[in-house]
A and B are shown apart, each in its own frame.
Chain A
Amino acid sequence: MIPLLIILLLAALLLLLIRRGMLEVDLSLPWFLALLILAAASLNRQFVEGIAAFFGILYAPIAIILIVVFILLGLIATLALAVSRLRQGQVALTRHLAQHDLRRVENRPTPDESGKNTI
């Protein structure tokens, strides 16, 4: 009962963060997936024993550590990808902004705009 309550509380916290705009919907997916896996691990003994058997772990509770490590790696990888994408977007935006500023100070159309190939 208590594990279920904790899982529900954490899920509610995630929803609250999304509702307040502090967490992107897209980025919340891995967190919800992590919660689901942790819920399965804490509510279903056979789930943990099944994983332990699959990986050949003799003492089943150790499998929970393995699960947590995998979850953390997944979350870190997702965040690293998101940060990289954010950086690419920032670079694209900066280049666009710089071109906009330069076009204003150049005060003349580009060759493409004026239908010519040379300046």
Chain B
Amino acid sequence: MAVDADRGEQGHDVLVFVPSLNDVDRLGEISQAVVAALPLAQLLVVDDGSTVPIDRRILGVDDLLVRLPTNMGLGVATHVAIDHALAYGYQIMVRIDADGQHPMDAILELLEPLRADREDVVSGERLNPGAGSGGLMAGLVKGYFTLVSRLLTAGRSPADVNTGFMAMNRTAMSILNGTNLYRFPEPQIFLTLGRAGLRLAAHPIHQQPRRHGKTTLGWFQAMRLLYRFNVIALNETLGWRRRP
């Protein structure tokens, strides 16, 4: 039993999923940080059709890399990771962004409530979300997502539903497996899981400033997200979500 607990602490049943679209600069660092935090965890990088395919050599020897044939969006990349986690019996999936903005030392704090079976999903609630801000419009849209999510889940949804830093157990993965996750699926994930009655918790984190690239959320995208989120929220409210 002690051996099992030790292996659990080292993350032998944890899949760390990193979606990447043209974000390669910090993947090596992320790989090393994951090994440092959870030596037995499996890192899975999903290359969502980057213009230049990710070089396998920047990752650790045991890390998994899968390249999607074309850019399918974060929703499909998440489905790929969940499919793999469910197929190979991983108990917990952690999601980290490839831009290196998430504090890697917080992974263990995300896992602890899941291990203790106190929560089903734990997200990293950014105390400084402006570090990756897409401007006023994106801020308003994200604020709206949070407000509606909290209303529709009776406050169970976290205060930051746009964070890409999260950990979830198999129950949450199974529920998401029965839905269609879209591009920028974070608010959809929290709304769906909150409506399904799962226990959602948030752990405060300080997001690192973005070193490379810029946020992909512009005005037009924000409008599309707004429309999509409203349709999903309406379906959730009416109970028309596809069940797993």
Contact = CB atoms under 8 A, between A and B. Distances in A.
7 contacts: A91-B72, A91-B79, A94-B80, A97-B69, A105-B66, A106-B64, A119-B13
Interface residues of A toward B: which range?
Answer: 10 to 19
Interface stretch (A15-23, A49-57, A109-117): A109-117
A98 B88 contact: no
A101 B76 CA distance: 15
Interface string A84-108: 0000101100110111011001100
A110 B89 contact: yes
A110 B90 CA distance: 10
How would you classify the secondary structure of chain A's contact residues: helix, strand, loop or mixed? Answer: helix
Given A91-B79, A118-B13, A111 B69 contact: no
Interface of B: 12-13, 44, 46, 64-70, 72, 76, 79-80, 83-84, 87-90, 180
Contact of B76 (A95, A99, A112, A119): A95
B89 A95 contact: no
Interface of A: 88, 90-91, 94-95, 97-99, 101-102, 105-106, 110-112, 116-119
Contacts of A111: 88-89
A98 B66 contact: yes
A119 to B, nearest CB: 4
Nearest to A109: B88
B69 A110 contact: no
